[in-house]
Amino acid sequence: MQIAIPNNIRLKCISWNKDQGYIACGGESGLLKVLKLEMQTDDAKLKGLAAPSNLSMNQTLEGHSGSVQVVTWNEHFQKLTTSDQNGLIIVWMLYKGSWYEEMINNRNKSVVRSMSWNADGQKICIVYEDGAVIVGSVDGNRIWGKELKGIQLCHVAWSPDSKILLFGMANGEIHLYDNQGNFIVCV
């Protein structure tokens, strides 16, 4: 299956919600699309039928003006979190079959490089290019923030038990912090 992107806009990021089958793709000029891919059933495979996959959703979400650079799913709470080149973060929620803005945040200081929801969907960690780290709750409250001076952050991931945060640096190092923002080790 091939999915056409309007006006040959270049994609910058893509993320698959494996639990519900949604795909989010972001790109230049504020492009943000949510697609839902309906896969062929096991019955069709058993009968030897070549049932094609179909899109049951193809929604363009409006809200970003700059290139969308990061998209991440909170599968537990069925939310999508996106960020653009201007640092604008939008949390989207599914309501009656369509995606809507739930929360907006703009730190106005730096660009978001990576975001990650923890395993139970209760917390999100957001890392900015300037070394800022923010951990917030699913209801939009800040839990803690930290400035990692002189470090260029690129990626973030939670450990499966949500006790450790892994930060990927531009120089290839990985720093481990506990879930309260205390440094553990550099690898």
**pLDDT truncated to tens, each residue of the chain (187 aa)?**
567 777 889 999 999 998 999 999 999 999 999 999 876 666 555 555 555 567 788 899 999 999 999 999 999 999 999 999 999 999 999 999 999 999 999 988 889 999 999 999 999 999 999 999 999 999 999 999 999 988 899 999 999 999 999 999 999 999 999 999 999 999 8
Both structure tokens of 141: 């409250």
Query: Can you tell me the distance from the alpha carbon of 135 to that of 156, in angstroms, rounded to the nearest whole number?
Result: 11
Which pTM does this prediction carry? 0.88
Query: Can you tell me the distance from the alpha carbon of 166 to that of 51, in angstroms, rounded to the nearest whole number?
Result: 41
DSSP class per residue in 13-78: EEEEETTTTEEEEEEGGG-EEEEEEEPPPHHHHHTT--PPPEEEEEEEPP---SPEEEEEEETTTT
Both structure tokens of 121: 């969907």
